[in-house]
């Protein structure tokens, strides 16, 4: 039975010392005992926090990161011009490429402290749009990559049918994404079979956006008993198109026409009016925030103080993977608020003056909700996902407890993650993924082919 002895660990009751964490063969925590000695347990000498769930990933875009920055000839670059670049790039991927790129991404996420990923997967078909012999081929490649890296996964097959609200013809570059409900159902069935009884894999659904599915399609998926993720209100143009087509803003339309509740995750939700802020918070749904991608694409800044003030919940993701670290996502989230509001320590409250801890607590709870898995806390019944922060690292030296979390989030560019345990298994040792070289070699083969 794997067991770990943390010199200091963040428990639901707060920080504790000499914490023995015992897990079973399936990777679930069975006991947590502070203030004990356990010579036979694996020693984690730093500060140990729960593994952080990543609630939004398009893994194939890891291969684009840093490669879609060049100014276009016409200038006036935006999310919409970036999307054209993405369409050209996505046409190049083989199943082998997708698996290699995903494995590299997942290893990097683990090295920075993400221990679970919600893969919002819409790269379904062959380049001409023809389904593979196995319609779930590409989704299964991502599950295989997650197993190779050792990260937990919530696979979210995405339903994508149209190119605009509601029912506009799709763009040629979207042909690899497109399904009707029957074709989508076959993919979901294949994903369920691939997940099986694996406690490291869960299954949800992802109607891509109001631009990509019809109201009838949304209604057909809305009874799903599990996570439902959807892009919403990422860009002002999207809001304007929805207003013109329906008379309502995207989030307002969803709140008024769908059974939005704690199963739902509205990815980005950047452009909300006052009523949407209050009602989204009241619904129990999550705002799925991807701060480094939202900054990279010029999306805008989420209304965090108002949303938190209304009781709203959020989690964080890395989306296009221009960033792959939870600390950097949390930093970008907080500092973007500071820039807009000319204030500091925005994501804090009187009961906890440390923004690092406040943001981490929210990301753990929200990420667990979005994943549909037992995550986000070092407690019996939860997955044994542990991240050891090296408190002798220059970024953290001399800090402890919540002050150490502030330093982790807001200090420097280094990575003080020393070791990571996921599902009771060590996947990062001395800051490096245990299969880093083999995964990187396969990634190199894929990237050379994609960029030739």
CB 228 within 8 Å of CB 203: no
What are the beta bridge partners of residue 159?
Answer: 207
Residue for token pair 């221009």 = 322
Report the alpha-carbon angle 179-68-64, nearest 5. Answer: 60
| Tokens matching residue 205 | 């659904």
Closest by Cα among 149, 119, 142, 148 to 57: 119
What are the beta bridge partners of residue 11?
Answer: 14
- Catalytic site residue from 319, 361, 390, 406: 319
Say which residues have a Cβ less than 8 Å from residue 399's Cβ, sequence separation at least 6. Answer: 391, 406, 407
CB 139 within 8 Å of CB 177: no
Tell me the C-alpha distance between 5 and 45, whole Å. Answer: 8
Measured between alpha carbons, how far is residue 405 from residues 38, 48, 354, 400 in Å? 26, 11, 8, 8
Long-range Cβ contact pairs of 205-208 (< 8 A, separation 24 or more): 205/156, 205/157, 205/159, 205/229, 206/120, 206/121, 206/122, 206/156, 206/157, 206/158, 206/159, 206/230, 207/158, 207/159, 208/122, 208/158, 208/159, 208/160, 208/177
**281 phi and psi angles, rounded to 5 deg:** -60, -40
Say which residues have a Cβ less than 8 Å from residue 38's Cβ, sequence separation at least 6. Answer: 3, 5, 20
Quote the strand ranges of 263-376, DSSP E.
264-268, 286-289, 313-316
Query: Taking the alpha carbons of 15, 19, 24, 25 in that order, is the dihedral positive or negative?
Result: positive
DSSP secondary structure code for residue 382 in this structure: S
Q: Does the annotation count 121 as an active-site position? A: no
Q: Does the annotation count 268 as an active-site position? A: yes
**357 phi and psi angles, rounded to 5 deg:** -65, -45
Tell me the C-alpha distance between 107 and 443, whole Å. Answer: 11
| Tokens matching residue 265 | 């995750």
- Catalytic site residue from 268, 321, 354, 433: 268
**42 phi and psi angles, rounded to 5 deg:** -65, 125
Tell me the C-alpha distance between 211 and 185, whole Å. Answer: 20
Catalytic residues: 268, 319
């Amino acid at each position: 039975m794997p067991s770990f002895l943390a010199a200091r660990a963040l428990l639901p009751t707060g920080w504790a010392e000499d914490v023995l964490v015992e897990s079973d063969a399936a990777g679930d925590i069975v006991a947590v005992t502070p203030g004990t000695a356990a010579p036979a347990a694996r020693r984690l000498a730093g500060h140990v926090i729960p593994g952080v769930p990543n609630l939004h990933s398009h893994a194939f875009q890891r291969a684009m990161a840093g490669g879609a920055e060049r100014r276009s000839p016409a200038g006036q670059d935006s999310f919409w011009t970036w999307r054209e670049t993405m369409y050209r790039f996505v046409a190049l991927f083989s199943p082998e490429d997708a698996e290699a790129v995903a494995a590299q991404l997942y290893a990097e996420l683990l090295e920075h402290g993400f221990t679970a990923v919600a893969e919002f997967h819409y790269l379904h078909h062959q380049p001409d749009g023809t389904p593979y012999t196995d319609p779930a081929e590409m989704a299964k490649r991502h599950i295989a990559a997650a197993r190779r890296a050792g990260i937990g996964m919530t696979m979210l097959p995405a339903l994508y049918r149209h190119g605009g609200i509601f029912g506009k013809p799709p763009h040629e570059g979207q042909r690899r994404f497109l399904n009707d409900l029957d074709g989508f159902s076959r993919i979901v069935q294949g994903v369920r079979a691939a997940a099986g009884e694996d406690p490291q894999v869960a299954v949800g659904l992802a109607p891509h956006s109001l631009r990509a599915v019809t109201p009838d399609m949304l209604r057909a998926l809305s009874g799903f008993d599990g996570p439902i993720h959807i892009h919403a209100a990422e860009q002002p143009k999207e809001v304007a198109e929805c207003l013109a087509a329906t008379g309502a803003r995207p989030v307002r339309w969803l709140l008024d026409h769908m059974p939005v509740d704690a199963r739902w995750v509205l990815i980005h939700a950047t452009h909300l009016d006052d009523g949407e802020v209050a009602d989204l918070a009241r619904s129990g749904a999550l705002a799925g925030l991807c701060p480094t991608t939202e900054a990279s694409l010029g999306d805008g800044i989420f209304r965090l103080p108002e949303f938190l003030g209304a009781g709203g919940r959020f989690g964080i993701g890395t989306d296009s993977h221009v960033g792959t670290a939870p600390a950097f996502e949390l930093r970008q989230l907080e500092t973007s608020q500071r820039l807009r509001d000319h204030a500091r320590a925005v994501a804090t409250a009187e009961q906890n003056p440390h923004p690092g801890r406040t943001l981490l607590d929210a990301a753990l709870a929200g990420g667990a909700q979005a994943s549909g898995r037992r995550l986000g806390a070092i407690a019996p019944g939860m997955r044994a996902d542990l991240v050891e922060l090296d408190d002798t690292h220059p970024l953290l030296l001399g800090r402890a407890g919540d002050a150490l979390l502030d330093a982790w989030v807001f200090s420097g560019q280094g990575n003080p993650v020393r070791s990571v345990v996921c599902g009771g298994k060590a996947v990062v040792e001395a800051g490096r993924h245990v299969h880093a070289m083999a995964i990187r070699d396969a990634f190199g083969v894929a990237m050379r082919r994609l960029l030739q």
